[in-house]
């Protein structure tokens, strides 16, 4: 018996995170229902859910953002709770209120928490007022007439940031204050286009910092705990590529200060649910970056080192239960690395790619976890984010984990769509990465990693040849004439 006030949970999402949530619902004895656009009708998540409700819209993304349709789907499925996953409506306070108003439990933080932390200017001011460290900045709405002058006075380099943003969209690094006004205009245009909010602020840009974030859990009884930190410093264009836990080479004293600060911020915000407090670390000091009020893409590395099921904790907190753990219960073990497998071509500026999955063979073995919503025959389009799967590896030490993750990436076979698998393997074998000499500008400083080495493709051809037997051969024989004409494995 699950002993929760609901039996069915609607998943307002798709892909790997929907599959991930379904697995925990099964473990808890709960039924799953999922909404889906027609383009996703034959995906793994839809086939796994106990019920599937079709939604429609002018575009697939518009369907997943249609609040009235999703609320109606929850009612149709008799769902007593809704999990938003990440992206889409997961950090939309209006949606959280609509769900609650419909008598459905929202598995996430309160609308007030979402509003506070979703507005980066408001969140930044809140954190500063409570005595936690932030990067010096100039906020436009404090006094628009002096905004540019105040920003220039901080000196270069600067970072122009939208108040509402995600995925690095709208952010502009300015190393010459002479072009600051042009950068502000471009950032405002992007912020307005992507988020419908052109408010901006400018902060001192910390060159080559490390990105450290802390997983926190809070309940309605005043309990807040951290599950230690993750490092997400390997990024391209402000988007994470490789994540790991714990962070490389932090002293015990610095780790404790960062985790305590994250707990302090969550406690000050009266935060209920799973959340992530993100920091920039440079010169031995750390500063608040933002707080994400949802499950993070990279949450599996935390689960791998702590053994805590974060989705289960989210569900129990939303059901009004106290945290299922105390801080002293959280004892990290070993090291974990997550590599984001994406449909993109790093050597062509990370251009998105499309195709049909003809052969799919994931690496396996002890300490390897695959979070994926991908299946053979599935069409990969540009309608959504290019994330295809997450390969998560756990081992006793960081070096062992990186070596194991490298082997896993080399063992992965995906035919039919170009992916960044070789790029991820090159990062995991890179000397600087292995020695922990990483920061957010690492990939820009090492462009050869994205460019690749044509000689390295030989091993991929050999591996592919070895796999051309039995069922794999049958799939390969089904390759379209177009792909056959290309004459190579496109991984």
**Residues tagged active-site:** 294
CA distance 308 to 285: 29
- For residue 2, the SS3 value is coil
Token readout for 239 is 């988007």
Q: Which contiguous run of DSSP H or E holds residue 276? A: strand 273-282
The half-sphere exposure of 99 on its side-chain side, counting CA atoms within 13 A, is 31
- For residue 144, the SS3 value is helix
CA distance 131 to 418: 47
Widest distance between CA atoms in the chain: 70
Whether residue 34 contacts residue 18, with contact meaning beta carbons closer than 8 Å, is answered with yes
Distances (CA, A) of 13 to 6, 282, 356, 357: 19, 36, 21, 21
Phi/psi for 399 (5° steps) reads -60, -45
Length of the chain, please? 491
Whether residue 33 contacts residue 11, with contact meaning beta carbons closer than 8 Å, is answered with yes
The rounded Cα 309 to chain-centroid distance in angstroms is 17
């Amino acid at each position: 018996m699950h002993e929760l006030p609901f039996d069915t949970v609607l998943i307002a999402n798709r892909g790997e995170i929907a599959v991930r949530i379904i697995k925990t619902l099964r473990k808890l004895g709960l039924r799953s229902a999922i909404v889906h656009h027609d383009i996703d009708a034959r995906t793994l998540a839809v086939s796994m859910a106990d019920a599937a409700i079709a939604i429609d819209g002018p575009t697939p993304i518009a369907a997943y953002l249609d609040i009235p349709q999703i609320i109606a789907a929850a009612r149709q499925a008799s769902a007593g709770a809704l999990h938003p996953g990440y992206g889409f409506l997961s950090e939309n306070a209006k949606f959280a209120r609509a769900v609650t108003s419909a008598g459905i439990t929202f598995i996430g933080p309160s609308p007030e928490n979402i509003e506070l932390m979703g507005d980066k200017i408001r969140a930044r001011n809140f954190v500063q007022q409570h005595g936690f460290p932030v990067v010096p900045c100039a906020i436009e709405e404090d006094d628009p007439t002096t905004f540019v002058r105040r920003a220039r006075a901080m000196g270069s380099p600067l970072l122009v940031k939208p108040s509402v943003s995600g995925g690095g969209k709208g952010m502009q690094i300015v190393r010459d204050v002479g072009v600051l006004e042009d950068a502000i205009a471009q950032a405002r245009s992007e912020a307005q286009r992507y988020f419908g909010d052109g408010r901006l602020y400018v902060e001192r840009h910390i060159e080559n910092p490390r990105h450290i974030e802390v997983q926190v859990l809070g309940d309605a009884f005043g309990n807040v705990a951290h599950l230690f930190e993750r490092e997400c410093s390997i990024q391209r264009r402000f988007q994470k590529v490789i994540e790991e836990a714990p962070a490389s080479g932090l002293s015990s004293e610095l780790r404790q200060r960062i985790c305590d600060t994250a707990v302090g911020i969550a406690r000050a915000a009266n935060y209920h649910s799973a959340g992530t407090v993100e920091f920039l670390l440079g010169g031995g000091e750390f500063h608040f970056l933002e707080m994400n009020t949802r499950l993070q893409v990279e949450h599996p590395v935390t689960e791998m080192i702590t053994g805590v099921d974060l989705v289960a904790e989210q569900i129990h907190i939303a059901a009004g239960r106290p945290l299922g753990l105390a801080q002293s219960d959280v004892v990290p073990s070993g090291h974990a690395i997550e590599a984001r497998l994406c449909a993109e071509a790093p050597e062509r500026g990370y251009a998105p790619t499309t195709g049909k999955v003809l052969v799919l063979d994931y690496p396996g073995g002890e300490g390897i976890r695959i979070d994926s919503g991908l299946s053979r025959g599935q069409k990969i389009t540009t309608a959504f984010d290019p994330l295809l799967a997450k390969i998560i590896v756990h081992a006793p030490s960081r070096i062992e984990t990186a070596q194991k993750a490298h082997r896993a990436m080399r063992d992965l076979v995906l035919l039919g769509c170009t992916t960044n698998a070789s790029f991820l393997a090159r990062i995991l074998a890179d000397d600087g990465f292995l020695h922990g000499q990483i920061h957010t500008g690492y990939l820009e400083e090492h462009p050869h990693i994205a460019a690749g080495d044509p000689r390295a493709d030989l091993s991929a051809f050999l591996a592919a040849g070895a796999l051309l037997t039995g069922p794999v051969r049958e799939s390969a024989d089904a390759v379209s004439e177009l792909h056959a004409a290309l004459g190579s494995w496109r991984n």
